[in-house]
Amino acid sequence: GESVGLHLPTLSVQEGDNSIINCAYSNSASDYFIWYKQESGKGPQFIIDIRSNMDKRQGQRVTVLLNKTVKHLSLQIAATQPGDSAVYFCAEPVTSGTYKYIFGTGTRLKVLA
């Protein structure tokens, strides 16, 4: 069945450096992906999304890259700040008869001062 997984459970990054969070998916027919950020005590917040007809999409300090050949997704955060510390999830909608998200386990990003 479909699955969305993350390569690393925890990522520690020096403040000011760039962060790269990875995600692998198994359903080659997937056509939409979303990244969420969850801060402690809060719910997941939408960061950025990408459709399968794109390879790259940029937001404010964030870039999502999609490699359909190897079914890999990454979230790049430029100039990582302390406020970026959170758990990041990639998610993939299942749209056949429903509209639910399949989430990965999540990657905890720790920003070191």
Partner 1 sequence: EAGVTQFPSHSVIEKGQTVTLRCDPISGHDNLYWYRRVMGKEIKFLLHFVKESKQDESGMPNNRFLAERTGGTYSTLKVQPAELEDSGVYFCASSRSTGVGETQYFGPGTRLLVL
d(C-alpha 42, C-alpha 53), whole Å: 32
Nearer to partner 1, 7 or 100 (CB): 100
Taking the CB of residue 55, how many other CB atoms lie within 10 A of it? 11
Nearer to partner 1, 18 or 26 (CB): 26
Work out how close the CB of 1 gets to partner 1 at its nearest, in angstroms, rounded to a whole number.
12
Residue 56 found at the interface with partner 1 (CB under 8 A): no
Question: For partner 1, which stretch binds (CB under 8 A), given 10-18, 33-41, 56-64, 75-83?
Answer: 33-41
84, exposed or middle or buried, with CB in 10 Å at 0-12, 13-18, 19+?
buried
